[in-house]
Amino acid sequence: MMRKILKNEWTVKIGSAVIALAAFCMLWQAVTVFTGMGDFLPGPAETFAEFFRRFVKPYGKAVLPMHMWSSLRRILIGYTVASAVAIVLGIVMGTYRIADAIVMPLFNIIRPIPPVAWIPLAILWFGIGDASKYFLVFLATFLSVLQNAYAGARSADPVLVGAARMLGANDGFIFRTITLPCAVPYIFSGLQNGLTAAWGQVVASEMIRSSAGVGWIIIRGMDNNDILQELVGILTIGIIGFILAASMRGVEAKLCRWTTRGK
Amino acid sequence: MQMDNTGKIEVMIQCSHVEKTFFTRMTSTPVIRDLDLKVRKNEFVVLFGPGQCGKTTVLNVMAGLETATSGTVTVNGKEVSTPGPDRGFVYQTTALFPWYTVMQNVEYGPRARGMSKKERREKAQYYIDLVGLQGFEDKFPNQLSGGMQQRVGIARAYCNEPSVLFMDEPFGHLDAQTRYLMQEEIIRIWEKEKRTVVFVTNNIEEAVYLADRVVVLTNCPTSVKKEYQIDLPRPRNYTDDRFLELRTEIQSIVDKTL
Residues 6+ apart with CB under 8 A from A66: A58, A212
pLDDT value for B6: 54
Q: Is residue B184 part of a domain?
A: no
Q: How many CB atoms lie within 10 A of CB A77?
A: 15
Phi, psi of B168, deg, nearest 5: -100, 95
Region B208-214: mean pLDDT is 95
> In this structure, are residues B59 and B112 in contact, taking their beta carbons and an 8 Å threshold?
no
pLDDT of A128: 84
A176 phi and psi angles, rounded to 5 deg = -70, -40
Please name the member of B88, B93, B142 whose beta carbon is closest to the beta carbon of A263: B142
Tell me the average pLDDT across A74-88. 94
Chain B residues whose C-beta is within 8 A of a chain A C-beta are 63-65, 82-85, 87-89, 91, 93, 95, 97-100, 108-109, 112-113, 140-144, 156, 160
Q: Give me the number of domains chain A comprises.
A: 1
Q: Domain limits at B247?
A: 1-77+194-258
pLDDT, tens digit, for every residue of A153-205?
998 888 999 999 999 999 999 999 999 998 998 999 999 999 999 988 999 99
Residue A209 confidence (pLDDT): 83
- Does residue B200 register a pLDDT over 80? yes
B67 band by pLDDT with thresholds 50, 70 and 90: very high
Q: In chain A, which ranges are continuous DSSP H helix?
A: 2-7, 9-34, 44-53, 64-95, 97-110, 119-126, 130-153, 158-166, 171-174, 180-208, 214-223, 227-255, 257-260
**What's the pLDDT at A255?**
79
Phi and psi, residue B224, nearest 5°: -75, 125
Q: Would you say residue B177 lies in a domain?
A: no
Q: Of the candidates B85, B93, B140, which has its C-beta nearest A168's C-beta?
A: B85
- Which whole number is the average pLDDT over B188-207? 93
How confident is the model over A114-166, as pLDDT tens digits? 988 999 999 999 988 889 999 999 999 999 999 999 999 998 888 999 999 99
Q: Rounded to a whole number, what is the distance in Å from the CA of A166 to chain B's nearest CA?
A: 5
In a domain, A8, yes or no: no
Q: For residues A77 and A75, what is the distance between their CA atoms, to the nearest angstrom?
A: 6
In a domain, B58, yes or no: yes
The SS3 assignment for B9 reads strand
Domain count, chain B: 1
For residue B41, the SS3 value is coil
Nearest to A128 by CA among A208, A221, A220: A208
Mean pLDDT, chain B, whole residue set: 91
Return the residue of A nearest to B62 by Cα. A166
Would an 8 Å CB–CB cutoff place A151 in contact with chain B?
Answer: no
- Tell me the angle at which helices A214-223 and A227-255 cross, rounded to the nearest 10 degrees: 160
Write down the pLDDT at residue B254.
87
Q: Do A166 and B84 touch (CB under 8 A)?
A: yes
The residue-averaged pLDDT of A45-69 equals: 91
What is the four-CA torsion angle of B165, B171, B172, B173, rounded to 10 degrees?
130
Closest residue in A to B95 (Cα–Cα): A160
Q: Which residues of A touch B65 (CB under 8 A)?
A: 162, 166
Q: Within a domain: residue A201? A: yes
pLDDT tens column, A3-14: 666 667 888 888
* Lowest model confidence (mean pLDDT) among A252-261, B80-89, B208-217, B237-246: A252-261
User: Residue B151: inside a domain, yes or no?
Assistant: no
Residue B89 backbone phi and psi in degrees, to 5:
-135, 130
SS3 (DSSP) at B98: coil
A261 — pLDDT class (breaks 50, 70, 90): very low
Q: Is the pLDDT of residue B2 over 50?
A: no
Quick check: is A47 in a domain?
yes
Would the pLDDT of A226 be above 60? Answer: yes
Whichever domain contains A169, its CATH number is: 1.10.3720.10
From the centroid of its chain, how far is CA B152? Answer: 15
Prior bond to A181 cis, omega within 30? no
For chain A, give the mean pLDDT: 89
**Residue A79 in domain:** yes
- pLDDT tens string A94-120: 888 898 899 889 999 998 999 889 999
Residues of chain A with pLDDT > 70, as a percent, come to 95
Q: Which whole number is the average pLDDT over A13-23? A: 92
Give how far Cα A200 sits from Cα of A134, A214, B35, B128, Å.
Answer: 13, 11, 64, 51
With H, G, I as helix, E, B as strand and everything else as coil, classify residue B39.
Answer: strand
Task: Write the pLDDT tens digit of every residue in B21-60.
Answer: 999 888 999 999 999 999 999 999 999 988 788 889 999 9
Is the pLDDT score of B163 beyond 60? yes
Question: Chain-centre distance of CA A62, in angstroms?
Answer: 24
Residue A22 forms beta bridges with which residues? none
Specify the higher pLDDT residue, B255 or A38.
Answer: B255
Instruction: Find, in chain B, the residue whose alpha carbon is nearest to that of A184.
Output: B99
User: Which residue of chain A is at minimal alpha-carbon distance from B87?
Assistant: A166
Q: Is A258 in contact with B85 (Cβ distance < 8 A)?
A: no
pLDDT of residue B74: 93
What is the pLDDT, as a whole number, of residue A210? 85
Distance set, CA B179 to CA A251, B59, B79 (Å): 40, 21, 34
**What does the pLDDT look like over B121-136, one tens digit per residue?**
999 999 999 999 999 9
| Alpha carbon distances (Å) from B186 to B54, B96, B107, B165 | 24, 18, 20, 12
Check residue A211 and give its pLDDT: 87
Closest CA to A31 of A49, A15, A47: A47
Q: So what's the pLDDT on residue B190?
A: 94
Mean pLDDT of all residues in B185-200: 93
In a domain, A250, yes or no: yes
Residue range(s) defining the domain that contains residue A144: 41-256
Q: Letter for the amino acid at A58?
A: P
Residue A168 pLDDT: 92
- CB atoms B108 and A165 under 8 Å: no
Q: Is there a contact between B108 and A177 if contact means CB atoms under 8 Å apart?
A: yes
**CA nearest B109: which of B84, B146, B144?**
B84
Nearest to B157 by CA among B112, B105, B113, B198: B105
Q: Residue A72: what pLDDT?
A: 92
Residue-level pLDDT at A161: 92
* CATH, residue B239: 3.40.50.300
The pLDDT value given to residue A67? 93
Displacement of CA B55 from its chain's centroid (Å): 11
pLDDT at A262 (0 to 100): 40
